[in-house]
A and B are shown apart, each in its own frame.
Chain A
Amino acid sequence: MILTLLLVGLSVVAVTLFLAPLEALGWWAGWFGEEGAEPQGGVPGRADYREFGGGKTPDRFVIYLDGIAKVGHGNYDDVSGMLDRLSAGLPRSVVLGDILPYSVTNMELTEGRPLSRFWRRMLQFKLEGRRPLLAFSINLRNLLQVLVAADSRYAPIYGRGGAQVMVASLLANGYRPGSGTPIVIVGYSGGVQIGLVTVPFLKRALEAPITMISLAGVMASEPGMSQLEHFHHLVSSTDRIPLYGRLLIPGRWRIARNSHFNRLRRSGKFTSHELVPMRHNGEGSYLDDESFSGDRSLQEITSAKLIERIKAVEVPADAASQAAEAPSQALE
Protein backbone atom coordinates (compact mmCIF):
# COMPACT_ATOMS: atom_id res chain seq x y z
CA MET A 1 0.00 0.00 0.00
CA ILE A 2 2.74 2.42 1.00
CA LEU A 3 4.75 1.47 -2.08
CA THR A 4 1.71 2.05 -4.30
CA LEU A 5 1.09 5.47 -2.75
CA LEU A 6 4.76 6.31 -3.15
CA LEU A 7 4.70 5.28 -6.81
CA VAL A 8 1.52 7.26 -7.44
CA GLY A 9 3.06 10.27 -5.68
CA LEU A 10 6.27 9.99 -7.69
CA SER A 11 4.30 9.66 -10.92
CA VAL A 12 2.32 12.81 -10.10
CA VAL A 13 5.54 14.69 -9.35
CA ALA A 14 7.13 13.41 -12.60
CA VAL A 15 4.12 14.46 -14.69
CA THR A 16 3.94 17.84 -12.95
CA LEU A 17 7.65 18.33 -13.46
CA PHE A 18 7.24 17.42 -17.12
CA LEU A 19 4.43 19.94 -17.60
CA ALA A 20 6.15 22.74 -15.66
CA PRO A 21 7.94 24.37 -18.62
CA LEU A 22 4.83 24.40 -20.80
CA GLU A 23 3.39 27.67 -19.49
CA ALA A 24 6.51 29.64 -20.39
CA LEU A 25 7.25 27.76 -23.62
CA GLY A 26 3.64 27.79 -24.80
CA TRP A 27 3.42 31.52 -24.08
CA TRP A 28 6.54 32.23 -26.12
CA ALA A 29 5.38 30.00 -28.98
CA GLY A 30 2.03 31.79 -29.01
CA TRP A 31 0.10 28.64 -28.22
CA PHE A 32 -2.17 30.38 -25.74
CA GLY A 33 -3.02 33.26 -28.02
CA GLU A 34 -2.73 33.82 -31.70
CA GLU A 35 0.03 31.60 -33.02
CA GLY A 36 2.91 33.60 -34.40
CA ALA A 37 1.77 36.79 -32.66
CA GLU A 38 4.14 38.79 -30.47
CA PRO A 39 3.76 37.38 -26.95
CA GLN A 40 2.02 39.65 -24.48
CA GLY A 41 2.56 39.65 -20.76
CA GLY A 42 -0.31 40.13 -18.35
CA VAL A 43 -0.94 43.57 -16.97
CA PRO A 44 -0.03 43.59 -13.29
CA GLY A 45 -2.90 43.75 -10.87
CA ARG A 46 -3.43 45.91 -7.83
CA ALA A 47 -1.73 45.45 -4.50
CA ASP A 48 -2.99 47.17 -1.37
CA TYR A 49 0.34 48.36 -0.03
CA ARG A 50 1.33 50.30 -3.13
CA GLU A 51 1.58 54.03 -2.86
CA PHE A 52 2.02 56.32 -5.80
CA GLY A 53 1.00 59.66 -7.16
CA GLY A 54 2.04 63.26 -6.74
CA GLY A 55 3.46 62.78 -3.27
CA LYS A 56 6.49 60.91 -4.50
CA THR A 57 9.44 61.86 -6.60
CA PRO A 58 10.91 58.45 -7.21
CA ASP A 59 14.66 58.23 -7.15
CA ARG A 60 14.69 54.45 -7.10
CA PHE A 61 12.25 51.73 -8.11
CA VAL A 62 12.07 48.66 -5.93
CA ILE A 63 10.56 45.48 -7.35
CA TYR A 64 9.72 42.83 -4.80
CA LEU A 65 9.57 39.22 -5.99
CA ASP A 66 8.01 37.04 -3.35
CA GLY A 67 8.89 33.48 -2.38
CA ILE A 68 7.26 30.34 -3.69
CA ALA A 69 4.14 30.59 -1.53
CA LYS A 70 2.75 33.42 -3.66
CA VAL A 71 -0.43 32.73 -5.62
CA GLY A 72 -1.47 36.06 -7.15
CA HIS A 73 -0.95 39.80 -7.30
CA GLY A 74 -2.01 40.40 -3.74
CA ASN A 75 0.23 39.56 -0.85
CA TYR A 76 0.06 37.65 2.40
CA ASP A 77 -0.21 39.83 5.51
CA ASP A 78 3.43 39.42 6.50
CA VAL A 79 4.62 40.39 3.01
CA SER A 80 2.29 43.39 2.93
CA GLY A 81 3.60 44.43 6.33
CA MET A 82 7.18 44.30 5.13
CA LEU A 83 6.32 46.19 1.92
CA ASP A 84 4.52 48.86 3.95
CA ARG A 85 7.64 49.26 6.05
CA LEU A 86 9.77 49.58 2.92
CA SER A 87 7.40 52.13 1.43
CA ALA A 88 7.40 54.16 4.65
CA GLY A 89 11.16 53.90 5.09
CA LEU A 90 11.88 54.84 1.49
CA PRO A 91 9.70 57.92 0.92
CA ARG A 92 11.37 58.71 -2.41
CA SER A 93 11.24 55.21 -3.81
CA VAL A 94 8.41 53.41 -5.56
CA VAL A 95 7.92 49.92 -4.16
CA LEU A 96 6.22 47.38 -6.45
CA GLY A 97 5.02 44.04 -5.18
CA ASP A 98 2.22 43.25 -7.58
CA ILE A 99 4.14 40.74 -9.67
CA LEU A 100 3.62 37.01 -9.52
CA PRO A 101 7.14 35.80 -10.30
CA TYR A 102 6.00 32.26 -10.99
CA SER A 103 3.97 32.99 -14.10
CA VAL A 104 5.44 34.55 -17.23
CA THR A 105 2.01 35.94 -18.02
CA ASN A 106 1.48 37.22 -14.47
CA MET A 107 -1.65 35.11 -14.33
CA GLU A 108 -2.80 34.35 -10.80
CA LEU A 109 -3.08 30.71 -9.85
CA THR A 110 -6.55 31.31 -8.48
CA GLU A 111 -8.15 32.91 -11.55
CA GLY A 112 -8.55 31.94 -15.20
CA ARG A 113 -6.66 28.66 -15.05
CA PRO A 114 -8.01 25.12 -15.52
CA LEU A 115 -6.96 24.34 -11.93
CA SER A 116 -8.04 27.66 -10.42
CA ARG A 117 -10.61 26.03 -8.13
CA PHE A 118 -7.99 23.69 -6.77
CA TRP A 119 -5.55 26.54 -6.11
CA ARG A 120 -8.26 28.62 -4.42
CA ARG A 121 -8.92 25.69 -2.12
CA MET A 122 -5.18 25.29 -1.40
CA LEU A 123 -4.90 29.00 -0.68
CA GLN A 124 -7.80 28.71 1.72
CA PHE A 125 -6.02 25.85 3.50
CA LYS A 126 -2.83 27.89 3.66
CA LEU A 127 -4.56 30.96 5.08
CA GLU A 128 -6.44 28.90 7.63
CA GLY A 129 -3.37 26.88 8.53
CA ARG A 130 -5.15 23.63 7.69
CA ARG A 131 -3.84 20.58 5.80
CA PRO A 132 -0.30 21.94 5.46
CA LEU A 133 0.84 19.07 3.25
CA LEU A 134 -1.87 19.75 0.68
CA ALA A 135 -1.41 23.51 0.93
CA PHE A 136 2.29 22.96 0.22
CA SER A 137 1.28 22.05 -3.34
CA ILE A 138 1.33 25.81 -4.03
CA ASN A 139 4.98 25.96 -2.99
CA LEU A 140 5.74 22.83 -4.98
CA ARG A 141 4.10 24.22 -8.11
CA ASN A 142 6.08 27.45 -7.83
CA LEU A 143 9.28 25.60 -6.97
CA LEU A 144 8.98 23.83 -10.31
CA GLN A 145 8.80 27.22 -12.00
CA VAL A 146 12.03 28.15 -10.22
CA LEU A 147 13.57 25.00 -11.70
CA VAL A 148 12.33 26.06 -15.14
CA ALA A 149 13.97 29.45 -14.69
CA ALA A 150 17.16 27.76 -13.48
CA ASP A 151 17.37 25.59 -16.60
CA SER A 152 19.62 27.31 -19.14
CA ARG A 153 17.43 26.02 -22.02
CA TYR A 154 14.28 27.65 -20.66
CA ALA A 155 15.76 30.60 -18.77
CA PRO A 156 15.85 33.04 -21.73
CA ILE A 157 12.15 32.48 -22.40
CA TYR A 158 11.26 32.70 -18.72
CA GLY A 159 13.37 35.82 -18.33
CA ARG A 160 11.77 37.46 -21.35
CA GLY A 161 8.28 36.80 -19.97
CA GLY A 162 9.14 37.89 -16.44
CA ALA A 163 10.83 41.04 -17.70
CA GLN A 164 7.77 41.91 -19.77
CA VAL A 165 5.56 41.83 -16.69
CA MET A 166 8.07 43.80 -14.62
CA VAL A 167 8.55 46.46 -17.28
CA ALA A 168 4.78 46.84 -17.60
CA SER A 169 4.54 47.43 -13.86
CA LEU A 170 7.47 49.86 -13.86
CA LEU A 171 6.09 51.90 -16.75
CA ALA A 172 2.63 51.99 -15.23
CA ASN A 173 4.17 53.44 -12.11
CA GLY A 174 6.08 56.17 -13.84
CA TYR A 175 9.43 54.66 -14.71
CA ARG A 176 11.11 56.48 -17.59
CA PRO A 177 13.22 54.15 -19.78
CA GLY A 178 16.71 55.54 -20.35
CA SER A 179 16.46 57.87 -17.34
CA GLY A 180 19.12 55.90 -15.46
CA THR A 181 16.89 55.68 -12.39
CA PRO A 182 18.19 52.70 -10.41
CA ILE A 183 16.11 49.56 -10.14
CA VAL A 184 16.45 47.39 -7.06
CA ILE A 185 15.11 43.86 -7.28
CA VAL A 186 14.39 42.39 -3.87
CA GLY A 187 13.86 38.67 -4.18
CA TYR A 188 12.77 36.38 -1.41
CA SER A 189 13.88 32.74 -1.70
CA GLY A 190 13.05 31.47 -5.22
CA GLY A 191 12.09 35.00 -6.27
CA VAL A 192 15.81 35.74 -6.59
CA GLN A 193 16.23 33.16 -9.36
CA ILE A 194 13.30 34.64 -11.26
CA GLY A 195 14.72 38.13 -10.85
CA LEU A 196 18.13 37.07 -12.11
CA VAL A 197 16.86 35.66 -15.40
CA THR A 198 15.02 38.91 -16.13
CA VAL A 199 18.10 41.10 -15.63
CA PRO A 200 19.52 40.90 -19.20
CA PHE A 201 16.13 41.93 -20.58
CA LEU A 202 15.49 44.73 -18.10
CA LYS A 203 18.97 46.03 -18.72
CA ARG A 204 18.49 46.12 -22.47
CA ALA A 205 14.95 47.52 -22.36
CA LEU A 206 15.44 50.19 -19.69
CA GLU A 207 19.21 50.88 -19.72
CA ALA A 208 19.02 51.07 -15.95
CA PRO A 209 21.51 50.26 -13.22
CA ILE A 210 20.13 47.18 -11.47
CA THR A 211 20.94 46.00 -7.96
CA MET A 212 19.76 42.65 -6.63
CA ILE A 213 19.00 42.08 -2.98
CA SER A 214 18.49 38.46 -2.09
CA LEU A 215 16.52 37.69 1.01
CA ALA A 216 17.48 34.10 1.76
CA GLY A 217 17.73 33.59 -1.98
CA VAL A 218 17.94 30.23 -3.64
CA MET A 219 19.52 30.78 -7.02
CA ALA A 220 21.68 29.26 -9.71
CA SER A 221 24.66 30.83 -11.40
CA GLU A 222 23.09 33.15 -13.98
CA PRO A 223 24.48 35.28 -16.83
CA GLY A 224 22.44 38.22 -15.47
CA MET A 225 24.79 38.38 -12.48
CA SER A 226 27.44 40.03 -14.64
CA GLN A 227 25.09 42.92 -15.41
CA LEU A 228 24.30 43.83 -11.81
CA GLU A 229 25.69 46.85 -10.01
CA HIS A 230 25.81 44.77 -6.84
CA PHE A 231 24.35 41.61 -5.36
CA HIS A 232 23.51 41.70 -1.65
CA HIS A 233 22.70 38.36 -0.06
CA LEU A 234 20.81 38.69 3.25
CA VAL A 235 20.59 35.43 5.11
CA SER A 236 20.30 34.10 8.64
CA SER A 237 22.84 31.55 9.79
CA THR A 238 20.01 29.39 11.13
CA ASP A 239 18.24 29.22 7.76
CA ARG A 240 19.52 26.14 5.91
CA ILE A 241 17.41 26.47 2.74
CA PRO A 242 19.78 28.84 0.87
CA LEU A 243 22.64 26.55 1.85
CA TYR A 244 20.92 23.57 0.23
CA GLY A 245 20.59 25.60 -2.96
CA ARG A 246 24.29 26.37 -2.84
CA LEU A 247 25.13 22.70 -2.40
CA LEU A 248 22.81 21.43 -5.13
CA ILE A 249 23.79 23.86 -7.86
CA PRO A 250 27.23 23.15 -9.36
CA GLY A 251 27.60 26.71 -10.65
CA ARG A 252 27.63 27.90 -7.04
CA TRP A 253 30.49 25.62 -6.03
CA ARG A 254 33.87 27.27 -5.58
CA ILE A 255 35.44 24.69 -7.88
CA ALA A 256 33.43 26.13 -10.79
CA ARG A 257 35.84 29.04 -11.00
CA ASN A 258 34.45 30.49 -14.21
CA SER A 259 30.80 30.31 -13.28
CA HIS A 260 28.85 33.56 -13.36
CA PHE A 261 28.44 33.38 -9.59
CA ASN A 262 32.14 32.97 -8.88
CA ARG A 263 33.02 35.73 -11.32
CA LEU A 264 30.54 37.95 -9.48
CA ARG A 265 32.25 37.13 -6.19
CA ARG A 266 35.70 37.85 -7.59
CA SER A 267 34.52 41.16 -9.03
CA GLY A 268 33.76 42.33 -5.48
CA LYS A 269 30.11 42.91 -6.34
CA PHE A 270 28.77 40.20 -4.05
CA THR A 271 28.23 40.93 -0.38
CA SER A 272 26.71 38.55 2.13
CA HIS A 273 24.96 40.01 5.18
CA GLU A 274 24.16 37.81 8.16
CA LEU A 275 20.88 38.39 9.94
CA VAL A 276 19.85 37.36 13.44
CA PRO A 277 18.53 33.79 13.85
CA MET A 278 15.45 33.36 11.67
CA ARG A 279 13.66 30.56 9.87
CA HIS A 280 13.16 30.44 6.12
CA ASN A 281 9.38 30.76 6.32
CA GLY A 282 6.44 30.56 8.69
CA GLU A 283 6.69 31.40 12.36
CA GLY A 284 10.02 32.94 13.32
CA SER A 285 10.82 33.78 9.70
CA TYR A 286 12.25 36.91 8.10
CA LEU A 287 8.82 38.48 7.66
CA ASP A 288 7.28 37.46 11.00
CA ASP A 289 6.04 40.56 12.80
CA GLU A 290 5.05 38.64 15.92
CA SER A 291 8.41 37.04 16.73
CA PHE A 292 11.06 39.20 18.30
CA SER A 293 14.80 39.45 18.64
CA GLY A 294 15.45 41.90 21.45
CA ASP A 295 12.81 44.59 21.27
CA ARG A 296 12.36 44.47 17.50
CA SER A 297 10.20 42.11 15.47
CA LEU A 298 11.96 39.96 12.88
CA GLN A 299 10.04 41.76 10.16
CA GLU A 300 11.31 45.06 11.50
CA ILE A 301 14.90 43.82 11.49
CA THR A 302 14.63 42.46 7.94
CA SER A 303 12.92 45.59 6.65
CA ALA A 304 15.51 47.85 8.28
CA LYS A 305 18.33 45.90 6.65
CA LEU A 306 16.60 46.04 3.27
CA ILE A 307 16.01 49.78 3.61
CA GLU A 308 19.66 50.30 4.57
CA ARG A 309 20.82 48.40 1.46
CA ILE A 310 18.34 50.13 -0.85
CA LYS A 311 19.31 53.57 0.44
CA ALA A 312 22.94 52.71 -0.24
CA VAL A 313 22.15 52.24 -3.94
CA GLU A 314 23.70 55.21 -5.63
CA VAL A 315 21.40 57.44 -7.69
CA PRO A 316 23.18 58.95 -10.70
CA ALA A 317 22.97 62.75 -10.71
CA ASP A 318 21.26 62.92 -14.10
CA ALA A 319 18.69 60.30 -13.04
CA ALA A 320 17.89 62.30 -9.89
CA SER A 321 17.30 65.48 -11.87
CA GLN A 322 15.12 63.70 -14.44
CA ALA A 323 13.07 62.14 -11.68
CA ALA A 324 12.55 65.52 -10.09
CA GLU A 325 11.32 66.95 -13.39
CA ALA A 326 8.73 64.26 -14.07
CA PRO A 327 7.39 62.60 -10.96
CA SER A 328 5.08 59.65 -11.64
CA GLN A 329 4.12 61.07 -15.01
CA ALA A 330 2.29 57.98 -16.23
CA LEU A 331 -0.15 58.24 -13.37
CA GLU A 332 -1.14 61.84 -13.70
Chain B
Amino acid sequence: MAPLTHFADVVNQVLALYTEGLPRILRLPAIGGTALLIVILAGVSEAVGESVVLFANRVGRVRFLLSLLISALLFVFTFLFQAASIYAVARFGFDSEVSLATVTTVVGLSYAPRLFGLLAFLPYFGPGLAVLLTTWSVLAMVRGVAGGLELGPWQAAATVAMGALLLAVLRRSVGLPLYWAAHWLRRVGAGVEELITDPEEFSEMIEETAVTLVDVPVEDWAKEEGA
Protein backbone atom coordinates (compact mmCIF):
# COMPACT_ATOMS: atom_id res chain seq x y z
CA MET B 1 0.00 0.00 0.00
CA ALA B 2 3.04 2.27 -0.36
CA PRO B 3 1.47 4.41 -3.10
CA LEU B 4 -1.35 5.31 -0.69
CA THR B 5 0.96 6.44 2.13
CA HIS B 6 1.58 9.91 0.78
CA PHE B 7 -1.41 10.06 -1.55
CA ALA B 8 -3.19 13.02 0.08
CA ASP B 9 0.04 14.95 0.56
CA VAL B 10 1.06 14.42 -3.06
CA VAL B 11 -2.35 15.35 -4.45
CA ASN B 12 -2.40 18.50 -2.31
CA GLN B 13 1.02 19.51 -3.57
CA VAL B 14 0.09 18.98 -7.21
CA LEU B 15 -3.16 20.90 -6.78
CA ALA B 16 -1.13 23.73 -5.23
CA LEU B 17 1.19 23.54 -8.27
CA TYR B 18 4.13 22.34 -6.16
CA THR B 19 4.42 25.30 -3.79
CA GLU B 20 6.91 23.26 -1.73
CA GLY B 21 8.87 22.25 -4.80
CA LEU B 22 8.88 19.08 -6.86
CA PRO B 23 12.15 17.48 -5.62
CA ARG B 24 10.67 16.55 -2.22
CA ILE B 25 7.71 14.90 -3.92
CA LEU B 26 9.91 12.96 -6.34
CA ARG B 27 11.99 11.63 -3.44
CA LEU B 28 8.97 10.08 -1.69
CA PRO B 29 8.95 6.27 -1.64
CA ALA B 30 6.88 4.56 -4.35
CA ILE B 31 6.06 7.90 -5.95
CA GLY B 32 5.79 6.17 -9.34
CA GLY B 33 3.04 3.96 -7.94
CA THR B 34 1.29 6.98 -6.47
CA ALA B 35 1.40 8.69 -9.88
CA LEU B 36 -0.06 5.60 -11.54
CA LEU B 37 -2.81 5.40 -8.91
CA ILE B 38 -3.67 9.05 -9.56
CA VAL B 39 -3.93 8.34 -13.28
CA ILE B 40 -6.14 5.27 -12.78
CA LEU B 41 -8.49 7.07 -10.38
CA ALA B 42 -8.59 10.13 -12.62
CA GLY B 43 -9.46 7.82 -15.50
CA VAL B 44 -12.40 6.32 -13.61
CA SER B 45 -13.51 9.77 -12.48
CA GLU B 46 -13.43 11.23 -15.99
CA ALA B 47 -15.22 8.17 -17.32
CA VAL B 48 -18.05 8.88 -14.86
CA GLY B 49 -18.00 12.55 -15.85
CA GLU B 50 -18.37 11.67 -19.51
CA SER B 51 -20.83 8.83 -18.97
CA VAL B 52 -23.64 10.68 -20.75
CA VAL B 53 -22.37 8.88 -23.88
CA LEU B 54 -23.16 5.54 -22.26
CA PHE B 55 -26.61 6.68 -21.17
CA ALA B 56 -27.28 8.10 -24.62
CA ASN B 57 -26.43 4.74 -26.16
CA ARG B 58 -28.79 3.10 -23.71
CA VAL B 59 -26.13 0.92 -22.12
CA GLY B 60 -27.39 -1.36 -19.34
CA ARG B 61 -26.14 -1.13 -15.78
CA VAL B 62 -23.64 -4.00 -15.84
CA ARG B 63 -22.15 -2.97 -19.17
CA PHE B 64 -22.12 0.62 -17.89
CA LEU B 65 -19.71 -0.40 -15.13
CA LEU B 66 -17.66 -2.47 -17.57
CA SER B 67 -17.48 0.51 -19.93
CA LEU B 68 -16.23 2.75 -17.12
CA LEU B 69 -13.40 0.30 -16.45
CA ILE B 70 -12.55 0.10 -20.14
CA SER B 71 -12.50 3.90 -20.36
CA ALA B 72 -10.18 4.06 -17.36
CA LEU B 73 -7.90 1.48 -18.96
CA LEU B 74 -7.76 3.43 -22.23
CA PHE B 75 -7.13 6.57 -20.21
CA VAL B 76 -4.04 4.94 -18.68
CA PHE B 77 -2.76 3.94 -22.13
CA THR B 78 -3.29 7.49 -23.40
CA PHE B 79 -1.33 8.76 -20.41
CA LEU B 80 1.57 6.42 -21.19
CA PHE B 81 1.68 7.63 -24.80
CA GLN B 82 1.52 11.23 -23.61
CA ALA B 83 4.41 10.66 -21.21
CA ALA B 84 6.43 9.00 -23.99
CA SER B 85 5.69 11.94 -26.34
CA ILE B 86 6.85 14.48 -23.74
CA TYR B 87 9.93 12.37 -23.02
CA ALA B 88 10.78 12.26 -26.76
CA VAL B 89 10.36 16.03 -27.16
CA ALA B 90 12.42 16.76 -24.03
CA ARG B 91 15.19 14.35 -25.01
CA PHE B 92 15.49 15.18 -28.70
CA GLY B 93 14.31 18.79 -28.59
CA PHE B 94 15.93 20.08 -25.41
CA ASP B 95 18.67 17.48 -24.76
CA SER B 96 17.16 16.50 -21.44
CA GLU B 97 18.75 13.42 -19.90
CA VAL B 98 16.05 12.69 -17.36
CA SER B 99 14.80 9.10 -17.44
CA LEU B 100 11.51 8.00 -18.97
CA ALA B 101 10.41 6.81 -15.50
CA THR B 102 10.80 10.30 -14.03
CA VAL B 103 8.93 11.91 -16.94
CA THR B 104 6.16 9.34 -16.56
CA THR B 105 5.92 10.07 -12.84
CA VAL B 106 5.82 13.84 -13.36
CA VAL B 107 3.17 13.58 -16.06
CA GLY B 108 1.15 11.13 -13.98
CA LEU B 109 1.20 13.38 -10.93
CA SER B 110 -0.07 16.28 -13.01
CA TYR B 111 -3.31 14.35 -13.58
CA ALA B 112 -4.29 15.01 -9.96
CA PRO B 113 -6.80 17.80 -10.77
CA ARG B 114 -8.53 15.35 -13.07
CA LEU B 115 -9.37 13.23 -10.03
CA PHE B 116 -12.36 15.55 -9.91
CA GLY B 117 -13.26 14.77 -13.52
CA LEU B 118 -16.59 13.32 -12.42
CA LEU B 119 -17.74 16.91 -11.88
CA ALA B 120 -18.14 17.13 -15.65
CA PHE B 121 -21.37 15.20 -15.09
CA LEU B 122 -22.94 18.17 -13.27
CA PRO B 123 -25.72 19.73 -15.30
CA TYR B 124 -24.94 22.99 -17.07
CA PHE B 125 -21.75 23.75 -15.08
CA GLY B 126 -20.06 20.40 -15.84
CA PRO B 127 -18.42 21.19 -19.19
CA GLY B 128 -16.97 24.46 -17.83
CA LEU B 129 -15.59 22.67 -14.79
CA ALA B 130 -14.03 20.03 -17.04
CA VAL B 131 -12.19 22.74 -18.98
CA LEU B 132 -11.03 24.27 -15.70
CA LEU B 133 -9.71 20.92 -14.43
CA THR B 134 -7.89 20.19 -17.69
CA THR B 135 -6.29 23.65 -17.61
CA TRP B 136 -5.28 23.08 -14.01
CA SER B 137 -3.77 19.73 -14.98
CA VAL B 138 -1.81 21.29 -17.87
CA LEU B 139 -0.44 23.96 -15.53
CA ALA B 140 0.62 21.25 -13.08
CA MET B 141 2.24 19.37 -15.95
CA VAL B 142 4.18 22.43 -17.08
CA ARG B 143 5.34 23.11 -13.51
CA GLY B 144 6.22 19.43 -13.08
CA VAL B 145 8.11 19.19 -16.37
CA ALA B 146 10.01 22.39 -15.55
CA GLY B 147 11.00 21.12 -12.09
CA GLY B 148 11.49 17.45 -12.92
CA LEU B 149 13.35 17.90 -16.20
CA GLU B 150 15.21 21.04 -15.12
CA LEU B 151 13.84 23.14 -17.97
CA GLY B 152 12.89 26.81 -18.02
CA PRO B 153 9.17 27.66 -17.82
CA TRP B 154 8.85 28.40 -21.53
CA GLN B 155 10.86 25.31 -22.47
CA ALA B 156 8.58 23.26 -20.23
CA ALA B 157 5.47 24.79 -21.81
CA ALA B 158 6.86 24.13 -25.28
CA THR B 159 7.71 20.55 -24.32
CA VAL B 160 4.18 19.89 -23.08
CA ALA B 161 2.60 21.58 -26.13
CA MET B 162 4.83 19.78 -28.61
CA GLY B 163 4.28 16.52 -26.78
CA ALA B 164 0.52 17.00 -27.17
CA LEU B 165 1.01 17.83 -30.85
CA LEU B 166 3.18 14.76 -31.38
CA LEU B 167 0.54 12.60 -29.68
CA ALA B 168 -2.20 14.07 -31.89
CA VAL B 169 -0.16 13.43 -35.04
CA LEU B 170 0.61 9.86 -33.98
CA ARG B 171 -3.04 9.24 -33.17
CA ARG B 172 -4.06 10.28 -36.67
CA SER B 173 -1.29 8.36 -38.45
CA VAL B 174 0.49 5.25 -37.20
CA GLY B 175 -1.70 5.20 -34.14
CA LEU B 176 -4.93 4.85 -36.12
CA PRO B 177 -5.14 1.05 -35.69
CA LEU B 178 -4.82 1.56 -31.94
CA TYR B 179 -7.52 4.24 -32.06
CA TRP B 180 -9.82 1.88 -33.94
CA ALA B 181 -9.01 -0.91 -31.50
CA ALA B 182 -9.92 1.40 -28.61
CA HIS B 183 -13.20 2.32 -30.28
CA TRP B 184 -13.92 -1.34 -30.91
CA LEU B 185 -13.19 -2.15 -27.26
CA ARG B 186 -15.54 0.62 -26.11
CA ARG B 187 -18.27 -0.59 -28.44
CA VAL B 188 -17.92 -4.21 -27.38
CA GLY B 189 -17.84 -3.20 -23.72
CA ALA B 190 -21.00 -1.16 -24.15
CA GLY B 191 -22.65 -4.04 -25.99
CA VAL B 192 -24.04 -1.90 -28.81
CA GLU B 193 -23.77 -2.28 -32.58
CA GLU B 194 -22.70 1.31 -33.02
CA LEU B 195 -21.48 3.57 -30.24
CA ILE B 196 -22.67 7.10 -30.99
CA THR B 197 -20.24 9.60 -29.50
CA ASP B 198 -20.95 12.67 -31.64
CA PRO B 199 -23.54 14.93 -29.92
CA GLU B 200 -25.04 16.11 -33.21
CA GLU B 201 -25.41 12.56 -34.46
CA PHE B 202 -27.08 11.65 -31.19
CA SER B 203 -29.47 14.63 -31.43
CA GLU B 204 -30.49 13.57 -34.92
CA MET B 205 -30.95 9.98 -33.84
CA ILE B 206 -33.11 10.81 -30.84
CA GLU B 207 -35.19 13.34 -32.78
CA GLU B 208 -35.98 10.63 -35.31
CA THR B 209 -37.60 8.62 -32.53
CA ALA B 210 -40.16 11.42 -32.12
CA VAL B 211 -42.34 9.85 -34.83
CA THR B 212 -43.15 7.03 -32.41
CA LEU B 213 -44.57 9.46 -29.86
CA VAL B 214 -47.99 9.43 -31.50
CA ASP B 215 -48.21 5.67 -30.93
CA VAL B 216 -48.76 6.00 -27.17
CA PRO B 217 -51.65 3.87 -25.90
CA VAL B 218 -53.96 6.61 -24.62
CA GLU B 219 -57.36 5.31 -25.70
CA ASP B 220 -58.26 3.38 -22.56
CA TRP B 221 -57.22 6.22 -20.32
CA ALA B 222 -59.11 8.70 -22.44
CA LYS B 223 -62.30 6.65 -22.17
CA GLU B 224 -61.90 6.47 -18.43
CA GLU B 225 -61.45 10.24 -18.24
CA GLY B 226 -64.46 10.89 -20.43
CA ALA B 227 -66.72 8.57 -18.47
Contact = CB atoms under 8 A, between A and B. Distances in A.
Please indicate whether A and B come from the same complex rather than being unrelated chains: yes
B193 interface: no
Interface string B30-52: 00000000000000000000001
Interface string A166-205: 0110011100010000000000000000000000111011
A320 interface: no
A147 interface: yes
B59 A29 contact: yes
Given A29-B60, A204-B211, A156 B202 contact: yes
A173 B216 CA distance: 13
Given A46-B225, A157-B56, A157-B206, A150 B218 contact: no
Interface centre among B55, B124, B219, B221, by most A CB within 10 Å? B124
Given A157-B55, A204-B211, A172 B123 contact: no
A17 B118 CA distance: 12
Nearest to B120: A153
B225 A331 contact: yes
A163 B123 contact: no
Given A28-B55, A167-B213, A330 B124 contact: no
Contacts of B202: 156
Contact of B58 (A28, A151, A204, A331): A28
B210 A160 contact: yes
Interface string B46-70: 0000001011101111001000000
Mostly, the B contact residues are helix
A307 B170 CA distance: 62
Given A30-B60, A160-B210, A200-B207, A43 B226 contact: no
A21 B127 CA distance: 14
A144 to B, nearest CB: 7
B216 A31 contact: no
Interface centre among B54, B126, B207, B221, by most A CB within 10 Å? B207
A223 B207 CA distance: 12
Given A29-B59, A330-B222, A38 B124 contact: no
Nearest to A329: B222
Nearest to A148: B123
Given A171-B218, A205-B210, A205-B214, A21 B61 contact: no
Contacts of B207: 156, 160, 200-201, 204
Contacts of B199: 152-153
A325 interface: no
Interface in A201-242: 201-202, 204-206, 223
B99 interface: no
Contacts of B124: 147-148, 150-151
Interface in B122-162: 122-127
A56 B174 CA distance: 69
Interface in A288-332: 330-332
Interface residues of B, number: 38
Given A29-B60, A172-B222, A332-B226, A21 B210 contact: no
Interface centre among B55, B119, B125, B218, by most A CB within 10 Å? B55
A26 interface: yes
B209 interface: yes
Contacts of A167: 213-214, 216
A41 interface: yes
B216 A154 contact: no
B58 A172 contact: no
Contacts of B19: none
A41 B218 CA distance: 11
Contacts of B125: 17, 147
Contacts of A52: 225-226
B173 interface: no
A150 B127 CA distance: 12
B121 A21 contact: yes
Interface in A17-42: 17-18, 20-21, 25-26, 28-31, 35-36, 38, 40-41
Interface string A123-137: 000000000000000
A204 B214 contact: no
Contacts of A14: 122
A18 B206 contact: no
Contact of A35 (B60, B121, B212): B60
Contacts of B56: 28, 157
A156 B56 CA distance: 9
B206 A151 contact: no
A53 interface: yes
12 contacts: A29-B58, A29-B59, A52-B225, A152-B199, A153-B52, A157-B206, A164-B213, A172-B218, A204-B211, A205-B214, A206-B214, A332-B226
The 6 nearest A-B residue pairs measured at CB: A25-B55, A204-B210, A205-B213, A331-B226, A147-B123, A201-B210
